Chains A and B, each alone.
Chain A
Amino acid sequence: MENWKLFFLKVIPFLLLGILGCTNESWYKKNVPDDKKKQLATAMLNGVSNYYQGTVAEQFLIEEAIKFDSTNADIWREFGTAQVKRGFAVKMEYFYGKATKFNPKEWQGWRGYLYLYFYRDFERAIIDFNAVDSILGLVGHSQGQNHDYMRGIAYYGLKDYSKALTYLNKYINTTIKDAGLDWVDVYAILYRGLTQEKLGNLENALADFTLVLKQYPKLADAHYHKARILYSIGENKLAISHLKLAKENFSLGYFHKRPYIEVLDQIYNQDIFDLEAKIMVSNQKSI
């Protein structure tokens, strides 16, 4: 009896090993060395360009990349982009929050850009721009836009026109000093003109719209806003000539717009027609 027990104690482990050896546990799997994981994660992130953003395949690839490097901010950000463009605010916050956590220098300003333009959350945008600049020790850029410029837009959105003017001036004057007028984003001058108008400085506003047109003669927005102010001060003839140019250039697509979202105080052809109608009525009355 004891011999049988001994036999089974010796044999059973062999049997178990044999059975396990026949199961799927021994399928081939390559282990990626630890020192290669981060590099592989980055290359997988680059690989998402093989797929349209937000597809199932892209999601799987990003998830595989995150398995190899869950602290790679760029990967988290990539996960967030389709969410932003397709109207998922909670998910945007989650993914851009992760990206900001792991690399605030790179991504907090981009999140600020989203708060500013995609969500019109001007306070949060300013907080993000300030936070990044504080880390950098200088005025940074995100999505190709200077933080002072975007702070100016954010304060404009908050209707704090005095601060808007301060930051737009800071951006415009610094750029002129460092690189020249040609390097100033013409829309910053456009918004400074609008800010000046809100502050009641119509002459300064007109000067800014004139400056915009010097840089970008076809911009319908500058013609339209100039016409609007000229009309408000009784310069109807001049207003009409700018309105004509506004109408013509608008129809050719020369107006301020941004991909995916409407810009602040974007103009539409109805605005031009409405102003035209007002001027016509005003002219008829004066006859």
Chain B
Amino acid sequence: MCWERNRKFLVLIVSLIFFFGCNKTDKKNSLTSFIFPQKQVEEGVVNKYYVYQIPKNSNEDTRVNISYSGYKIISDTIINITGYNAGLQAIQFQEIIQKAKELQLSKYLTIYRGDTNFFQIIAPQFFSFNLQEMKSLVFERKTTSAVYRFKREVFSIKDTLFENLEAKIVTGNQQISIPELDSIIENMPLKLIYAKNLGLVFSTMQSKTSLIKTELIEQMPISKFNQLKQHNKNRIGFIDPSNVIDKGSGFEICGKQQNIADYYNSDPDGGFYPNKRHFLNSVYQQIDSSLLDGASGYLTFRFVINCKGEAGWFTTEMASLDFEKNTFQKPLVMHLFEILKMQKLWTPSILRGKETDEYFYVTFKFKNGKLETILP
């Protein structure tokens, strides 16, 4: 009898653990439970979105991009939102502060190639679920040509369902203007759906040319997102200066490594100086044919030309004439490397009127011990 009573009690406890064990105490009010994901947000949680750009012109194609929003509670009143591009690189940051019955945007910045640009917050209210108390969110961005003002207004907030979850549908408008010129560039009607505990799950914004539709694809803990970030990918053609033939040569680039252009970004192309004919004459004069010894395939040297026209960070790619992985004799590789190093001047890319570091390559094509051609 005693056992029977205990058993029922224990089953009840287990059931309670099962059904309610995951529900942490809801410290947040109803506003934040819709606007932000709730699960593990103290540690950090990331929403992955597909962003559709659907053109009005039916002859144009729909484009889909991937973006991520990372949410993290910093304190009882502060939450940070970091936006990432498809490559999981941070591109924007927002700091939201909870004050009384509203959320305020306190910081907003964008990041491009390591440079940070701040928005000036003019009217900070980010959200209030009391429609009567909703005000416009206004922030400005100063560029070299003008100050752009962004104003978001909310017209209505209604209850709805998202995949059987309690949700809120918000309608409003996003306006872009240039206050100095008293000019409105665009008004873009907005629709946002926030599902309870998930945060933003769906949105649309209608611009003059296209409908921007965003949909939540996946929610993940920050730990999983951080694992995804450990991808070891680089831009195609990236050269690691710690793993180059001329390591320790003292070669330096003029700008940041992430800003190195490609030789074909410039018009005319960067690369050979003063031109390829000059380079070819020099190579054919210097090449030691005794080192060719039946060589066949494509021996490519990839390197960087800095803004001063100096070359460095040499690395190699080798392919057979059948475009399979290949190797060449080291003395030949080093001989050609020395010839390339002896070229004192190369042509850097000119971008926006300024000499810029660039990636370049030179391929020596050999067939049965004969240098057939030099590319590109």
Contact = CB atoms under 8 A, between A and B. Distances in A.
B122 interface: no
Interface string B1-21: 001000100110011011001
A190 to B, nearest CB: 18
B323 A89 contact: yes
Contacts, number: 172
Given A15-B17, A59-B87, A90-B319, A120 B365 contact: yes
Nearest to A49: B63
B88 A60 contact: yes
Interface in B266-283: 268-269, 275-278
Contacts of B262: 85-86
Interface size class for chain B?
35 or more
B257 interface: no
Main secondary structure of the interface of A (DSSP, over half): helix
Contact of A87 (B22, B216, B317): B317
A90 B373 contact: no
A46 B50 CA distance: 13
Contacts of B89: 56-57
A11 interface: yes
B221 A93 contact: no
Given A46-B62, A83-B236, A27 B375 contact: no
Interface in A14-71: 14-15, 17-18, 21-22, 24, 27-30, 40, 42-44, 46-47, 49-51, 53-61, 64
A43 B275 contact: no
Contacts of A60: 66, 86-88, 233
A50 B277 contact: no
Contacts of A270: 275, 277-278
Given A15-B18, A82-B236, 10 more contacts: A28-B198, A44-B64, A44-B66, A50-B63, A54-B237, A60-B86, A60-B87, A88-B237, A88-B317, A119-B365
Interface of B: 3, 7, 10-11, 14-15, 17-18, 21-22, 39-40, 50, 52-53, 61-66, 85-89, 198, 215-221, 224, 231, 233-237, 262, 264, 268-269, 275-278, 298, 300, 302, 317, 319, 321, 323-325, 359, 361, 363, 365, 372-373, 375-376
15 contacts: A11-B11, A27-B221, A28-B218, A40-B64, A43-B52, A47-B64, A56-B88, A56-B89, A64-B66, A89-B363, A90-B323, A93-B319, A119-B298, A120-B373, A261-B376
Q: Give 7 nearest A-B pairs by CB, closest first.
A: A57-B87, A87-B361, A93-B323, A54-B236, A56-B87, A18-B18, A86-B237
